[in-house]
Amino acid sequence: MSRVDLTVEFAKLHPEASMPTQGSAQAAGWDLYALEETVVKRHQSSLIRTGLATAIPEGWEGQIRCRSSLGKKGMIMPNGLGTIDSDYRGELMVLATWIGEGDSFTVAKGERVAQMLFAPVPKVTMVETSVESLGTTSRGEGGFGSTGKF
């Protein structure tokens, strides 16, 4: 499989912002850092500032994902995955919720809070059709949990 080279520009919106870094040469994600100390209250969502803006090339998206080390402690991203579109130029923020023990979790200034991955976005054309022309499958209309066995 050949690699695709991608150049993504980042700008610091704040002088104390940290540029994204990779944990290793083959890491899929780029770590994002908290610009400031942020208290994430239990069962509430908070926005963690990064102090960065980016220009993702057209045809690509940035995916903001939770770091597994913070997820293990009890901090999650309530939307599971955040999408940064190529035309967004505002500050990158990490949406976080604390589900761990205690009333809150404090994210330290400079702490790695999420990771950003880049994925291609295909140009999609929607075509309206009839239900019958969609065809049939063995799964059919089976939804939530219909393909798994407990």
Task: Say what the pTM is.
Answer: 0.85
The alpha carbons of the chain give a radius of gyration, in whole angstroms, of 19
The answer to whether residue 82 sits within a structural domain is: yes
Q: How far is CA 88 from CA 63, 136, 149, in A?
A: 13, 39, 41
The answer to whether residue 20 sits within a structural domain is: yes
Quote the pLDDT of residue 82: 87
Work out how many domains the chain is built from and give that number. Answer: 1
* Domain extent for 92: 9-122
The answer to whether residue 101 sits within a structural domain is: yes
Indicate which CATH number applies to the domain containing 40: 2.70.40.10
pLDDT tens by residue, 55-78: 999 999 999 998 877 777 777 777
The answer to whether residue 127 sits within a structural domain is: no
The answer to whether residue 91 sits within a structural domain is: yes
pLDDT tens by residue, 81-108: 789 999 999 999 999 988 888 899 999 9
